[in-house]
Amino acid sequence: MSVTPGGDVPGNLGDEVTGPGVFVAVRDGYDAVYAALPRSGTFSRIWRASAYGGDFPAEFAHIGFLTTTEGRRLVDLLGLRDREVLVDVACGTGGPGLWVARRTGASLIGIDPSAAGLAAARQRAAGSGLGQRARFELGTFERTGLPGGTAGGLMSIEAFQYAPDKRAAAAELFRILRPGGRLGLICFEVDPARTAGVPVLGADPVPDYAPLLEGAGFTVEAYEETPGWAERVYAAFAAIIGAADTLTREMGEQAAASVVAEAMVTIQLKPYPRRILAVARKPGPP
């Protein structure tokens, strides 16, 4: 799904970036994983139990580490109004964004470079009764394809660390957010010393996102480490590595290699000093 330093880690994930601004390896890895998820009960069981403790509603399940406690904290800080437009960038199969939309009454626009993820998100929206106020479109952090001021609120869960050009990404998020609106990020800080020369993570590592957000024009209102993240991350990835053979049989070689590669890189290199929740406001009246 993300990176490999080569050698002992499976996969062939380079630093090639597409014109719209996404690593080919990240896009292709997620396409393979999203397509394979329905046929892998093992991955679903491991992830639900280890990554977020089984406390996220099954209809909005995801392949990140977001818990319902973190989601409620994010919703409170975003301060979305009923029927406001929420944009979820790097939405994947749409689970967290749809969960927030249901809780807040917001309309949802999901943006992601993975066609497989978007297809699954559309099905999920229809199945959860949110199809009339959710749409999902191809795009990236750097190029969302949305008009300026579209979003009353923005969110992105555990994906911003993969943006090839994070300054360009922050500028794009600032552009599409209305004045007075807020951006909520949950993502991993990346240690440049541990990721030097590593594909994807080593391309534009950011150890502290607050200065980057301020440089884009945002006012940072909250910046905090999420509690208990390391235990869940390492437990989930250790379980993925332990189940590698089963995952290969269930998911196919490409998808399994992608998830196992990310697990091995994370455990071997420990590239993430912290997992943070940041909320930043675009200045101006609502």
Which pLDDT does position 108 carry in this prediction?
98
Q: Has residue 18 been placed in a domain?
A: no
| Confidence band, pLDDT 50/70/90 cuts, at residue 82 | confident
Residues contacting residue 244 through CB under 8 Å, at least 6 positions apart: 256, 260
For residue 271, pLDDT over 70 is answered with: yes
Assess whether pLDDT exceeds 50 at residue 8: no
Taking residues 77-102, what's their average pLDDT?
Answer: 96
Q: What kind and span of H or E run contains 221?
A: strand 219-225
State the CATH number of the domain containing residue 28: 3.40.50.150
What pLDDT was estimated at residue 20? 86
Is residue 12 assigned to a domain?
Answer: no
C-alpha 259/C-alpha 240 separation (Å) is 8
Q: How far is CA 202 from CA 15, 64, 188, 215, 283, in A?
A: 9, 21, 13, 21, 32
Let me know if residue 2 belongs to a domain: no
The pLDDT of residue 103 is above 60: yes
Report the DSSP pairing between strands 219-225 and 85-89: unpaired
Better-scored residue on pLDDT, 6 or 64 = 64
Note whether residue 257 is domain-resident. yes
Query: In this model, does residue 11 exceed pLDDT 70?
Result: no
Whether the predicted pLDDT of 9 surpasses 60: no
Res. 6: pLDDT tops 60: no
Give the pLDDT mean for 41-55: 94
Q: How confident is the model at residue 286 (pLDDT cuts 50, 70, 90)?
A: confident
* Residue 223 counted as domain residue: yes
Q: What CA–CA distance (Å, rounded) separates 67 from 141?
A: 23
pLDDT tens-digit map of 198-222: 999 999 999 999 999 999 999 999 9
- Is 15 a residue whose pLDDT tops 80? no
19-37: per-residue pLDDT in tens? 888 999 899 999 999 999 9
Region of 11 (left: φ > 0; alpha: ψ -120 to 50; beta: rest) is left
- Stretch 182-210: mean pLDDT: 96
Q: What range defines the domain where residue 187 resides?
A: 24-281
Structural domain contains residue 184: yes
Report the Cα 31 to chain-centroid distance in Å: 14
Contact 66, 157 (CB under 8 A): yes
pLDDT, position 14: 56
| Token representation of residue 126 | 């229809």
CB 205 within 8 A of CB 273: no
Whether 193 maps to a domain, the answer reads: yes
Which residue, among 1, 52, 47, has the nearest Cα to 24 in the 3D structure?
Answer: 1
Question: Residue 67 — pLDDT band, cuts 50, 70, 90?
Answer: very high
Per-residue confidence band for 181, with pLDDT thresholds at 50, 70 and 90: very high
From CA 149, how far away is CA 120, in angstroms rounded?
27
End-to-end CA distance of the chain: 37
Number of domain units in the chain: 1
What pLDDT score does 81 carry? 85
Residue 130 within any structural domain of the chain: yes
* pLDDT of 7 above 60: no
